[in-house]
Amino acid sequence: MNVIMRFMKRNFKAILVVLTLSVALLGFSLFPGKKESDPEKDKMLIELLTFVIEKGHYSPSKIDDTFSKGVYKDYLNALDPSKRFFLQSDIDEFAKYETQIDDQILNKELTFFDLTYNRLMKRMDESKEYYKVALDKPFDYKKNESINTDYEKLPYAKNTAELKERWLLQVKLSALSSLVEKQKLEEDLVKDKNKTIDEKLKEYRESLGDKITPELEKKFIADAEKKKNQAPKTYEQLEKETRESTLTSLNDNFSFIKDLDREDWFSVYVNAISSRFDPHTSYFGPSEKEKFDVSMSGKLEGIGARLQKKNDFTEITELISGGPAWRGKQLEAGDVVLKVAQADGEPVDVVGMRLDDVVKKIKGPKGTEVRLTVKKQDGTIKVITIIRDEVEIEETYVKSSVVEKDGYKYGIIYLPKFYIDFEDQNSRDAGKDVALEVERLKKEGVQGIVMDVRDNGGGSLKTVVDIAGLFINQGPIVQIKSAAGKKEVLYDKDPKVQWDGPLVVMINEFSASASEILAAALQDYKRAVVIGSKQSYGKGTVQNVIDLNQFVRGGTYGDLGALKTTTQKFYRINGGSTQLEGVKSDVAIPDKYAYLKMGERDIENAMPWDKIDAAEYKVWDRQNNFDLAIEKSRQRMSNNAQLNLIDDNAKWLDERNKENVYSLNIDKFKAEQKALDEKNKKYKPIGDYKNAFDFNSLPYEVEQTNKDPVLKEKRQRWHESLSKDIYIEEAIHILNDLQSENNKGLTTKVKKEKLVKS
């Protein structure tokens, strides 16, 4: 969602000059050979960081007691999100610094950080004994007890005895979920004994698709033969195995933590400071900066999923189109990864593990197998097997498809992000690529186009202007306001309209930043009908990534990392900001995440919404049945049984998300899981849905897919997903309603009804 543009760099030059001079005057002295944990380097980093933010941030917060309280809260939550390390006595001792962090920042003091860091190391070391004792003997799963995992509301343990009990319940829950999972596998093993090897092999082939190899088949057959004569394991054996695997996972987790140095923990503290200015201002430590640089490369090997940390848990946020996880159709955005296993290896508990370490366990060489134990949005727990593969960033580029309805042909353009390479004018960029796809669709004789920017997190604002300009006469596209209050309007200066026919823009809750600007501009011009979620993400700010090393002269402490800070805010041409409010759809369609808190508006210290003067622009007047098409779509939505089911599922997921109490009685735990499975059956038709359309690649791409089986599979998968997409279906219906010939009689009827009512 970061938008880094040439004009940002241009506007920031003056600040950079001031900062460079100021750093020299501030007396930063550099001593070659200093270790990474050198407190002097830490003091200098905080001073440099806060100075850069205060001078360059769009609206820097005042570093006062209120700011201090925010840092205090965020930092402690980051150190101990599940409240299983610190005692209440520790918090009482820390509390005196709650309103002093601002003073320590200004005075370059590290007292609070040193205290919390040293205490955390001590408590973590003590905690190793707590879980080892808890796992030393069998759990009593017949005992009626439960655990509340709402850590935010959970108080800190009053004493060591209470903390030990908390650890016992947490590891018991982990072991219980593993035990139930293992019992299911044993039940399946008994059922499998009645199947032939050929029947089992057929099911295995279907589950892996074309990723099956002779080696995997051979191994599967050997395992199947071995299991055939294998006696089912007893409850006692399974119970012991789960405690042993939980112990191994926790030992691995603590060994990873032990590898973290003071610099890693100091980055947590610095981020707690920087993120208080706004949610999108953050510090990249040296290792994070390196990963950021690596992420710009063309390819990677893994499962093709993006992850993020939420308290103690790792959540799947996005599946990369074309990747193994995407092809497997089992992993979904919103799934929480609980355990990771390598091929036949024991699952490793990743709850509480560093995100970097979870990623390392999931990533791996092409052709190797990884098994993820995930918690689905509905609360069920599943084990998903994925064969790692090469994930091509090519799938982040624009692509298109054609579809027919009632004798009309329509085009679908999917744009995952607004990409561009400012350093290479000859490289691909979203503006040029979308223009090319529009031309190709025109040659195919399409009579309407859908621009799909769902899940598009943003990118280059320049490409937004270029793309919006394809559909309008020359005019303003977006307004930008800098920290100094200067307003800049970005225009499409080309009077040419590349596509003047019916247009629909599709958005969802994850359409953010630059994609919101495109949707907003085309909505303000009444050039396109915007359909999708009730509103988009709501990120109306611009960030610039600043390498902190450029401010230091005369030596080095090593890599200081980088700062991503908010430097500008953008506004619609009607004057309203997209911040918090996002873009509201003309036709709001229920979706799975409708009631979950996932937008900018749900972040505590998000920047506020505001408004500036509107730019001068002329509304598109070539679509005489625009409002009628919207009204017809809304009527269809209200009577659609499938959408009503989706809305009901969304409400249920919201309720499930609020439930944090789990029974640790095995019979009750199984009953809860069974009830969830039964409830889930009601929503099975959502996944089984299929619309009435066939989607096809353009001729040029058909030639490519005939030569490239991987690309062919990707397009087949995409077209298959489009054929099951009720939102695409409605977009096509709207394009059909926008056909003037289709609506002449109905338009006249509506006008007459309005005259009668008036």
CB 176 within 8 A of CB 145: no
- Please indicate whether residue 90 is annotated as part of the active site: no
Helix, strand counts (H, E) of the chain: 25, 21
| Torsion 443-444-450-451 (CA) sign | negative
Binning the chain into helix, strand and coil, the percentages to the nearest 5 are: 50, 15, 35
> C-alpha dihedral over 649, 652, 657, 661, to 10 degrees?
-140
Three-state SS at 451? strand
697 phi/psi in degrees, rounded to 5: -75, 160
- Please indicate whether residue 524 is annotated as part of the active site: yes
| Torsion 510-619-489-608 (CA) sign | negative
Kindly state the helix (H) or strand (E) to which residue 726 belongs, with its residue range: helix 726-737
Task: Point out the catalytic residue in the list 539, 592, 632, 714.
Answer: 539
CA angle 135, 141, 142 (to 5 degrees): 150
Q: State which amino acid sits at residue 533.
A: S
> How many Å apart are CA 303 and CA 208, to the nearest integer?
13
- Please indicate whether residue 749 is annotated as part of the active site: no
346 phi/psi in degrees, rounded to 5: -70, 140
Task: Point out the catalytic residue in the list 513, 577, 585, 633.
Answer: 513
| Alpha carbons within 13 A on the beta-carbon side of 552 | 23
Tokens linked to 11: 């506007």
Task: Point out the catalytic residue in the list 349, 524, 586, 737.
Answer: 524
Tokens linked to 293: 């640089």
CB 734 within 8 A of CB 529: yes
> How many Å apart are CA 114 and CA 120, to the nearest integer?
10
Kindly state the helix (H) or strand (E) to which residue 6 belongs, with its residue range: helix 6-25
CB atoms within 10 A of CB 702: 12
Longest CA span, the chain: 86
> How many Å apart are CA 344 and CA 703, to the nearest integer?
41
Tokens 């394809």 sit at which residue?
Answer: 470
Tokens linked to 69: 């309280």
> How many Å apart are CA 701 and CA 399, to the nearest integer?
10
Which residues carry out catalysis? 513, 524, 539
